[in-house]
Structures are given as structure tokens and as C-alpha cells.
Structure 1
Amino acid sequence: MTTTTRFDPLAPGAVAGIRDLGDDALVVAARTLEEDYGRLVDVARLAIAAEVEHRSRRTLGGDGLAAKLGCRSGTELLERTTGATVATIRKRVRLGEKLRSRSSLTGELFPAQFPVLAAALSEGQLSQDMAAAIVDELAPTIERVNPDHLRAAETALVESASEPTTTAEELKIQAMVWRVTIDPDGVEPEEEEALARRGIRLGKAVGGLVPITGNLTPLVAGQLQRLFNAYLTPRTAPVFLPSDGDESSGAEGPVMEDDRTPDQQRHDVLGGILSAAARDPETPKVNGAAPTVLVTVTANDLNQGTGAGWVDGINAPISLRSVRQLACTGETQTVTLDATGAVIQLTSPTRGFTAQQRKAIGARDGYHCAAPGCGTPGDWCEIHHVTPHADGGPTSVDNGVLLCWHHHRTLGSSGWEIRINDGVPEFKPPPWINPDGTWIRTTKAKPRLTAALKRALKETAE
């Protein structure tokens, strides 16, 4: 890409002239507008929102800023002065408060809860959405995690956000894995609370349709998503589950006491139906195999009973206790990764990757297209031979990578390069994205992130 002048939206005619920009200049304008103006405006909005809310706090009564101006709260004051929605303002206030220095009742000043993030934001190093991804995951753990571990997580996530290929969605997944890794209470307390809120509710028919609402556990959501991928693959026309068979309920003798709510019962019935549908031989196959839910976990976590497992396609962890329980049912498949994130070797002498190899590669690549920033589900992806088969490249896990249709076909023309290093895919962006020419490891496989984070935490303790 040739050097172009940085875009100045305040220059006369700048906005009107956007349509006349060349391709290179347009891309530069998009990036520089965000880096030079958008991020700095956003951090100022966060600081103003937090300060207005602080000066309008209820303890000040009639002396509060909002009260003196005839508003019920700082949120209402900002709504009237900025024209932003209440939801937008509340998001700014919530995030701004975490980045604002605090003072005690005696006037003593304390640093912000996330000082590294606050400094990076003030320098325009990352976007507001990236900051929210970090705070939303780490803030709930502040009162119970080791402060050094929290700071290590914050620092690592800020550094990751500075990578040219990291998106806010990918950063949120990284922050989630950090939270699970540093939280001494682990996943189980949150999982127990979530179980009490599980449920399915059918509403009243309106216009010939019956609405359904509720909350699914990660496992049931994973089963549902897997079936969606099986039935809605873009390579086939939509098909539907058979609806034959009826239930009988003539149990004899004493029965176990059932203390579930009606919503919880409906949820569990749905889980049973999904399991049965996945086992049905008439259910459409996913890449040649039944739509079995995959649960990924590191060998170290599985052996020591620490950390968490991850249901493919669902960004929520499950406890190791649940992983072991699922292994007993035989209805899920556990994929174990070593400390470096490489899958136990699975090879095939044939040209095409087997269904088992696809599962192993999917576990390593996070069940999505491995291309940085791409969110295409793994079930809709193809497997690319990193070393071409025609050049002697083997059809093995260590030579395959998940790529969606688009990235597979544009790999040779987009400027991106790919390689397998220590069993893990790495991408090198084209020079216009990363002039340094460094290789970047994809970070979508949650257990692999966990292993890396634990190594980082160990280094901070030494």
C-alpha cells in the first residue's frame, strides 16, 4: 500500500470528499479516523459520563449536579444534553466508573480499578468496545482474585488489543478465559446459580405463532447449536426433524421426588429431545459424522481437576465435574489438548480428512475459521492443506487448518500467509496490516488460551 495523507474529518470538505478517495486512501481514512479521533472522543465521553454521575450521586441530595439542573439523575442529565439513549449512557457510566480514579471519605485518592486499561484508552491504543470486553469479564472478579493476577490479566489483554488483527469479539473470548483462569472460585459457583435460572417458557399464540423464551445451559445450547449447524448447513436445503412417536407415563411403584419448576422441566425435556435427535441415524450428518457435541479440555486440567471445559460453539465454560459427568454419558466427545495446544496426533493416509481428523482440527482451531477476525462456524468450513497435498503434504492434523470458503479461496491472493508451528496455526498478515512481518497465532481455542495464561501467571509469581 502506498503512503497516503492521514484523514482529517475536520478539514473543509473532508466528509463530502470521502466518495472520491482511492481504495488505499479509504482504508487509511477508516483506520486513522478511529485512531486519531474516534478513540479519543470515546474516552472523553466515558470520563465525562463518570464525572457527571459522580457529581450527581444520591448522597449529595439537592446539591448534586443533576438535581440542581432539575434532573432526577446524572443519566437523565446526560440524556438531555447529548441526545444519546439511556442504554448508551448507562454503558458509558458503567465503563467510565471502572476507569476513573477514586477517593475515600477522607479525601484520599486511589487509582482506577483498571489503571493499565485507563492509560491505554487515554492514549488511543484501543476502542471503547475492546475496553468494555475487558471490564465486563474481569470486573466481577475484583473482590476475590489475586491483585497481581488481575493486573497480569489486564496487561495481557491490553497488549492483545493492540495487535492489528484482534477484534473486540476475540478479545472478549480471551478476557473470558482469563477470568476463568484467575478466579479462585472457578466455574462451579456461577454454574450452580445458572442452573437455578435455566428454563423454557412457551407464550400465548399470537398471529398463528407461539413465542418461546428462556435460558439454556451451555451444554443444551451447544446441543441445539450443533443441530442447527447440521440442519442449516449452506450446502444443503433446509430439512426438518421427524415428529412421529408419542410419550407414555405409566411408571409403577415409588418415584423420585421432583422439585424442578415447570420451566426447568421443559428445559430438561428439550435437552433429552436434542440428545435423542443427535443419536437418530436419520439426523443429517455434519461433515460425515453425527452432530455430537464436543467438549474441549487440556490434559493438565483434566488430570488435576482444575480449570474448565468448553462446549464447542458456546462462549461459556463448564466445570470439570460436568466434563467428567458428560464423559460417562457417552453422548459427548472430549478432545484433550497438550500444554502447547496441539492435539494428540490423528493421521490419515487418504487425500481427504476423516471425520475424526476434522473434529481434532476443529478443537485446535476453536471450532471456527482459523483466519483472524473470521467467525464462520467450523461446521461450515473446509480443511486447508498448509503444505499442499500435491507437494507431498500429508493429510494429517498437523497439516490441516479450518478455513471458511472465502478465506480458503483468497489465501493466495490476499497477501496472508499461513503455517503450522509446534502443531498450532500461525498467520502472517500482509505488509499493509503489519509492516513488521511477524507471525501471529490464532487465539480462538479456549483451552489453548487457558494453558498460555497459566504459564503467564506462573511467571508473575516467580
Structure 2
Amino acid sequence: MSETPVQLLSTDALLASVVSREKRMRVELFEQMQEIAELERRGAGPELGYKDVAYVLQHAIRCDRNTARQMVANSALLSSTITPTGSELAPELPLTAEAAAEGALSIAHVAEIAKAMKHLPAEVENLVVDVARENEPLAVRDFGKGLAYGLYQDDPEPAAPKQERLVNQHYRRWRKDGMLEIRALLDAVTGAKYEALIDPLAKPRPASTSADPNTAEPGADPRPRSEREGDALAELVDLMLRADQLPAHGGEPVTLTVTVNYDDLADQTGQALLDNGERIPADQIRQLACNAGVIPLVLGGASQPMDIGRKTRTFPAGIRRILVARDRGCAFPGCTRPPRHCDAHHIQHWANNGDTSVDNAVLLCRHHHTLIHQSEWEVKLVHGIPTFYPPPWLDPERKPRRNLIHAAA
């Protein structure tokens, strides 16, 4: 092996070294496959206290479960077998094993060849391997599909196997920490619709919309995918609650009833009771009440219901249309959420005698609506334009900011 530092090699020599090193690594990988196959033949999983060899590999070389299972599967295809009588049986894919032993194939190539050969006769393995020697793994996949179509295009269409009827299922349970845990099984069409709804709502937020002081990189969306999709589901629920075609429940449109002491609501202290028996902090009710169907339940001094008013929508359709025309979406600086993803927020909360009017309202998406309620951000109307003032930790001077994205649209 050359001792010349890589910085002193010519480009051609450097590339040749990369190719040579990759070939050696592939040869060693093939040898590793032989060892894994022998572990599998010996039943090393139970012998070592694990369910199978894939679990052994997962812990021994610290790889994920799917990678370990793929390694075991590929090793079986590439290794010969010794019978009890001492005879050697060729590998299931002998030509693939031969090419892998030469260092001509990567593990990804082997996987694609194995997939293709499931639908092809053994006589054409040489054709698939030849393609793999000269092309990337995806080309092997496409070639295998095309070869199978050419070989079997005159065959009658296979009869579709009779499948059991698949039904959509939904499970839910309240946890001790107050979170609702949900699971669902959806058919393919419904699942695709669900993904189409969730995916655009779960996109990472643009850098300019973040206001988290704990973010490692200023402006970056720190949420993992699971949290982003959870927030997207919550936003989807809000979108549905604003729809005008929801089915009736108990004789009236879907309504969330909340019981809370008025003083607790005004002071943002204490707890509120949901109609399913769960309790939430009173400060969250202030946000919920901004744009929800509200049934006032007046409590007496002994927490006895004294009077129930009729349901009213805090912001009627007429006011919302004006807000849409004015704000054109979430008014928070840098946010691109459209109007249909936004709530109407009381600038001065109605619990503090704020009016339900255009001059006391602003459109905010779910994320920024929560931010305004739970942080030191402030919003005011300046000459009829929503203007935001950041908390001191973000900007000691608290310079006013506006959303210029919708205005430029």
C-alpha cells in the first residue's frame, strides 16, 4: 500500500485508490457473509441467549434490526452448505456469490439481485449479475422488472388472491399524565389521504418563524419528525372543528364544553374541566376560547351551576372574512401559514373585557397562537396592521416586527 499522503496524489491516483479500497471492503464483506451464514447454520442465536442470529448481530456490531436481518438473509444466498454426508451444496445464487467474492458487488447490489431473482428463473441470473457489475443497484431493480415482464408478458393474468375484508380501526386511551394516546389501522386509500393531509402540515417551520431560546441553531425547527406530525394532527383537528359539515352529536354540531370558574379564567390560575372528565390548566382555556364554540357555564360560590347560556361563536364569519382579507394568513413575522390554518386571536382577551371585533383580532396559526399565549411576545394593531414585539431575551430593544410575506403576495 502506498505511503504517499492523499494530498500529494494526483486526482486519477486518488480515485483509483478509492475504487481499490472499495473492492477490498466488498471482498471482506463477502467473507463476513460466510461467517454470518455459518453462525446461522449453527443456531448461534439460542446458543448465545438470543432469539436468532439477527439479534446477535444487532447487539454485537450495534446495527439496527432491519440491517441485521438483511445481512442474515443475504448471507444465506451467498454461501454454500455442507450436508450431513459431507457434500457441498452450491449457494442459492452461485453467480452472485462469485461476483461478490471478487469484490464486484456491494451489499445493496446483492439485495437487489435477490429481489429480482425471486421472480426470474435461475437461467437468467448471469444477465442480472452482468448488469449489477456495471451499474448501480437501482438499475438492477429496473432491469429485473423489465426482464420479468418480457419473460412473462404472454402468461395469463394471475388470479387475485381472495383477501380478508380490511376494516379501518381506531383505538384511544387517556394516560395518567393527561395525554390521549391514539392508534389507528387504515386501509391503503384512507391511509394515503391521511398522509396527504398530514405531510404538508408537518413540514419543518421556516427559520424566521422560530422563537425558541433553547434552539441549538438560531431559527432552526428543533422538533423531531414525531413531534412535527403530532402537531400536524392537532392542527388537522382544529381545521375540522372550523369546518361547517361536521355531523351532529347529541342533537347539535360538535362542541367542546369547558367548565371553569370565571375568576380562574381571568387570572389564568386553577384548572378547567372538559366534558370528558379530563382537567387542563386554566391558561390553556384562554387560547381555546379565542376561536371555539363557547357554552358559558356560570358557577356559584359552591361551584354549583347557576346558569347555562347558549353557544355562540366568538368570531362570526363576517369578522373572520375581514381578517382574512387584512392579514392573508398567519400575521406572525415570517410565517407562511394560509388563512384556513389560522385561528382568530383576541389581542385583548375577552376575559379581560376585550371586544370581539376586527380592531381587537389577528389571525394566528396554531404554533404562533400558542406562542402568544404562553410567552412574552406581544401583538398590537399599529395603523391597522398587526405588529409584534419580541420578548426581551430575544431583542432587548423589543423592536416591532411585521409579517411581510403575505403583504408581498
Q: Into which bin does the TM-score normalised by the smaller protein fall? A: 0.3 to 0.5
Structure with bigger RCO (C-alpha 8 Å, 6+ apart): 1
- TM norm structure 1: 0.34
Question: Which of the pair is proportionally richer in strand?
Answer: 2
